[in-house]
A and B are shown apart, each in its own frame.
Chain A
């Protein structure tokens, strides 16, 4: 089959690799019909996440058709499914508490040492996201082996367009959980740093959850326009002093909740950011946390910090004193996708949530490298890239019965 492989920093290529097979009883094989490039894929692309190996297949936002199902799978050949990026067994203590992204059993044993050493406990498995999270081949490919397929994939109706449901795999539930972690109360203002896909979905979700005022912060005019379209007030940090603006827009109190939807590769020409950028270039694991630091300073006393943005290592000059002295609560984590799938699918079906506005570019899988380059470099216009496999004949696997 054809698949997008990581070869090194800013070097990704579509190559021919062996087709996946059923390995464990609960596996299913999915023929991918649509897959997207995630902002967090750019962290891998930029080489700031350790644990990548040349040849790794990327991609953790994908959906498709079931072409094979193992004896322990509940899926049926021909079903259309969206696959969560987190791999969860559904049976461990954490899955029982609906903390699916903390699953104890999805990261292969021999891959757990790295994060157990780094974080104290091993992370769960994630598709296409380095060997720290299992080294699972990802979804920017024609076919994917999906473990624990009786737990993760959500079956969607044949009549629903792929693009309406594709983002159930990651960014929509991630934006939703970000807003949920902001624990909004009536009258609350929430400020969102970063108007990428997660930030925009967090804005949309916060509005649905009844936020009085949502203020979006970015510097890309087009992305700010999208935020405005979702009902947010916007701050362009290249023309406005963010701290002062937020204070003035909240009656001097500050936002009740702040959401860092930027993560480890913050933009902006501030001193701390430039120093962090230089450290990051030398050593993966040093995170640039400018947006997070700014959010913490802006947050009102006793407020909440929601942090969907991805960090992998350490942030220099973290304003821990402000967190303690202002009595802030910090909520974060990889998204417990399976917890939200059904609720969000229903809202999409009822027309309450539309995610298709985000898609700026549709490319064949063969052009994935171009998609990565532009998504990284032209963030103003390239808001979301959807890749469609199947532009050329597949390798070995013919058409399946029942499709």
Chain B
């Protein structure tokens, strides 16, 4: 059946080639214009939908225009306090965040993060903890003067059924204009979504198994 229909279609096309190309073009333009009008009309008629229960960052169209938001949730089969305590000690972050070279304290609640960038560059972000609820939430943001503007929060919830802890990390960022901004955009526009996914999976491996899985056969 499919083959027959295909043949029919082709014979139609062949009969059209007998008419002028100008007529074909007219038909195409009219069809396109009609489709465009119909789509615009249906969009105008569509009422604004109430927000659903899903996290903002999972909406098909971004809800925030000023910053890009990425995030991911992972369930870690360890008690909430243990996961929180591990994360709260920022010097642990380079253990599962591969593009973070080091995190060093600069003052109460303040740390400097050295982040690897392409072409051997390093960017420096000084961040301050803006909210810290033990075993529940840690939020931070970059202080003015950092190479990029970023803010992040990680929350810890008991997973249902004794499955451990649901860790949800969300990072919002915007790169300023200028040469450094361009460089940052290059790595951050696409990468943070992948990076945060990798980092949370590594954190999970480390917390659950004590090591990070690798198929490498040699120590490096």
Interface of B, secondary structure class, is loop
Chain B residues positioned under 8 Å from A113 (CB to CB): 194
- Count residues on chain A whose CB falls below 8 Å from chain B CBs: 33
Contact at B215–A105, with CB atoms within 8 Å? no
Chain A residues positioned under 8 Å from B164 (CB to CB): 93
- Count residues on chain B whose CB falls below 8 Å from chain A CBs: 22
Contact at B201–A111, with CB atoms within 8 Å? no
Interface membership of A25, Cβ < 8 A: yes
Of residues B77, B214, B215, B218, which shows the largest number of chain A Cβ atoms within 10 Å of its Cβ? B215
Contact at B215–A137, with CB atoms within 8 Å? yes
Interface membership of A106, Cβ < 8 A: yes
Given A89-B209, A92-B208, A93-B75, residue A112 in contact with residue B215 (CB < 8 A): no
Contact at A105–B210, with CB atoms within 8 Å? no
Contact at A135–B215, with CB atoms within 8 Å? yes
Closest B residue to A113 by beta carbon equals: B194
Closest beta carbon of chain A to B166's beta carbon, Å = 12
Closest A residue to B206 by beta carbon equals: A105
Interface membership of A277, Cβ < 8 A: no
Chain A residues numbered 101-126 whose CB sits less than 8 Å from any CB in chain B? 104-113, 125
Closest beta carbon of chain A to B68's beta carbon, Å = 20
Chain B residues positioned under 8 Å from A65 (CB to CB): none
Closest A residue to B163 by beta carbon equals: A93
Bitwise, A71-102 to B at CB < 8 A (1) or not (0) is 01000000000000000011111001000000
Contact at B217–A110, with CB atoms within 8 Å? no
Interface membership of A384, Cβ < 8 A: no
Given A93-B75, A93-B77, A93-B164, residue A107 in contact with residue B213 (CB < 8 A): yes
Interface membership of A275, Cβ < 8 A: no
Select one of B205, B214, B215, B218 contacting A18, CB under 8 A: B218
Chain A residues positioned under 8 Å from B211 (CB to CB): 24-26, 72
Contact at A105–B217, with CB atoms within 8 Å? no
Chain B residues numbered 163-214 whose CB sits less than 8 Å from any CB in chain A? 163-164, 194, 198, 201-202, 204-205, 208-214
Chain A residues positioned under 8 Å from B77 (CB to CB): 91-93, 96
Interface membership of B5, Cβ < 8 A: no
Of residues B202, B208, B209, B213, which shows the largest number of chain A Cβ atoms within 10 Å of its Cβ? B213
Interface membership of B40, Cβ < 8 A: no
Contact at B213–A134, with CB atoms within 8 Å? yes
Chain B residues numbered 62-111 whose CB sits less than 8 Å from any CB in chain A? 75, 77
**What CA separation (Å) do A106 and B204 show in the bound complex?**
11
Chain A residues positioned under 8 Å from B217 (CB to CB): 18, 20-21, 23, 137, 145
Chain B residues positioned under 8 Å from A89 (CB to CB): 205, 208-209, 213
**A/B interface sample: 16 pairs, CB < 8 A:** A20-B217, A21-B218, A22-B219, A23-B217, A23-B219, A24-B211, A24-B214, A92-B208, A93-B75, A104-B204, A104-B208, A105-B204, A105-B205, A108-B214, A109-B201, A148-B209
- Chain B interfacial positions (CB closer than 8 Å to A): 75, 77, 163-164, 194, 198, 201-202, 204-205, 208-219
